[in-house]
Chains A and B, each alone.
Chain A
Amino acid sequence: MNTSYETIIIGGGVIGNSIAYHLSERYREGVLVIDKKYPLSGTSGSTQAWVWVHNKTPSSYAEFSMYSAELYPYLSRKIGDVEYKRTGGLSPFFNEKDRDKAKRLAESYREIGIKIKVLSREEVIEKEPSINPNVAGATFSKIDGNVNPFRLADMYMRAAKKNGIEYSYYNEVIDIQKKNDQFIVFSKNGEYTCKNVILAGGTWSRELGKMVGVHIPVNQVRGQILVTEPLKPFINYTISGMRQANNGEVLIGYSMEEAGFNRSTTLDVMQETANMAMYYIPDLGKAKVVRAFSGIRAVPEDGLPIIGKVPSVENLYVATMHSGITLSPLVGTLMTELLVDGDTSLSIAPYSIERFK
């Protein structure tokens, strides 16, 4: 068994896998991805998987997200069909007083060249005829969409493996030590040495950071989602709160709770989500809920991604964030540039871990 690598990526979610795949385009040997379970058992496998740009603040972060969304069609051509659909994104509001807020959001985006429209009631109903006729308006952006997260991670993984990247599943990392120029990664199944370590553990980043004495301020936020039986296609856009998948299922949910790593679904939030579904789209009342699931999001303390070198430990890198689905193509590309070329084509300085000092 090989135990010596150039780079070890800890975490096999969409971020770890995207980095692995993009690295494999530049160098094919000496990369290992370690995951404590099987990929998709964490955050990447329990999400509505919007590729979402609009409503993100500050506007520079929306711009960063936009570049990633722009990479999706290209990514699909390289790794295979990940069921990416640029449906356009609709954020409805039901109170006229929200229109001012929506207009200001559109204004702050105009300065950086992202076009979002503030729609009137009639315009929303024209676009999405099944929406609650009491809607007051919506913000709308053409660049938003969604993807199949299972296919996304699976395709990254298959493409990376084809290019020579090694994987180790069900292999929890227990400790990481630095000796001279080398890292020793201690895992359930053995020890590995490597030059570079990339921490891509998402919700578990804080714990991984502790192993190397680095404070990574990432918290956990639970989200619960209802999934309906397959319905005929009738939701045209990715609505903030729900989307319809290719097979006709509607995924509904926009909840946030602090519950640590507890991934239970709870009746009160399921009920509130059902209320929201009927409030947004009254026809959904008759649809059957096949299952509910919950996922734990990784949320850095200030909400923004943490990407790049960890200056206090040489050859240590971190890539952890909320919105990993939206950002994965871009983060994989930039992290590869950082490792191979030592610099990135797009500045990641605002997302450095240094900001938490």
Chain B
Amino acid sequence: MDKDTIICRCEELSFEEIEEVICLGAESFDDIKRITRCGMGPCQAKICADLVSKMIHEQTGKIYEEIPMPRMRMPVSPISIETLSTNSQHFSTVKSVLDEVELEDGKVR
């Protein structure tokens, strides 16, 4: 493949940019993702995942079938926040920062 070939369309990453991170010791798609943002765009790695696995296989000699797949992230396909929301204003796990400030005898602890 040409050095300028785009591997990740969403984040516009070229073959050369991915190749560099493999040279730095990355062994999985997720290693490369965190350094380059490859696969972090709207398509969530649907286009680039296999291309990157092939690159790892070709450059490191690792067995293709043993290269870990990218970790799939909910919601897999983008959905709006209001669709995800339940409209509740009761918060339990999600907190505000000020909730954590504790007072002791009227003073900040």
Q: How far is the CA of A48 from the CA of B7 in the complex (A)?
A: 26
Residue B101 interfacial (CB < 8 Å):
yes
A interface size (C-beta, 8 A): 59
Give the shortest distance, in Å, between B91 (CB) and chain A (any CB). Answer: 6
Write out the residue numbers on chain B whose beta carbons fall within 8 Å of the beta carbon of A256: 93, 95
Contact among B35, B42, B107 with A229 in the assembled complex (CB-CB below 8 Å): B42
Q: Interface residues, chain A, CB within 8 Å of chain B? A: 37-38, 40-41, 45, 55, 57-59, 91-93, 98, 101-102, 104-105, 107-108, 139, 150, 154, 167, 169-170, 226, 228-229, 240-241, 253-257, 265, 267-279, 284-293
Judged by DSSP, the binding face of B is: loop
Pairwise interchain contact A104-B44, C-beta atoms closer than 8 A = no
Q: Which residues of chain B from 29 to 72 have any CB-CB distance to chain A below 8 Å in the complex?
A: 30-31, 34-35, 37, 40-42, 44
A293 to B30, CA, bound (A): 13
Contacts of A55 in B (CB 8 A): 97-98, 100-101
- Render B71-93 as a binary contact track against A, CB cut-off 8 A, 1 for contact: 00111001111101111110111
A274 to B85, CA, bound (A): 5
The reply to whether B94 and A253 contact each other, CB–CB distance below 8 Å, is: yes
**Seed contacts A55-B97, A275-B87, A284-B81; 19 additional CB < 8 Å A-B pairs:** A38-B26, A104-B108, A105-B108, A170-B25, A226-B84, A240-B97, A254-B94, A255-B95, A256-B93, A271-B84, A271-B85, A272-B88, A274-B81, A275-B88, A275-B94, A279-B89, A285-B85, A289-B80, A290-B78
Partner pick for B106 among A104, A170, A268, CB 8 A cutoff: A104
B102 in the interface, Cβ–Cβ < 8 Å? yes
A57 near B102: Cβ-Cβ < 8 Å: yes
In Å, the complex CA distance between A278 and B87 comes to 8
Known contacts A108-B107, A274-B84: A288-B79 contact under CB 8 Å = yes
Q: Given A108-B108, A270-B74, does the pair A101, B87 have CB atoms closer than 8 Å?
A: no
Of A59, A93, A277, which one neighbours B98 at CB under 8 angstroms?
Answer: A93
Closest Cβ of chain A to B46, distance in Å, is: 12
Residues of A within 8 A of B27 (CB): 38, 169-170
Q: Closest CB of chain A to B83's CB: distance in Å? A: 8
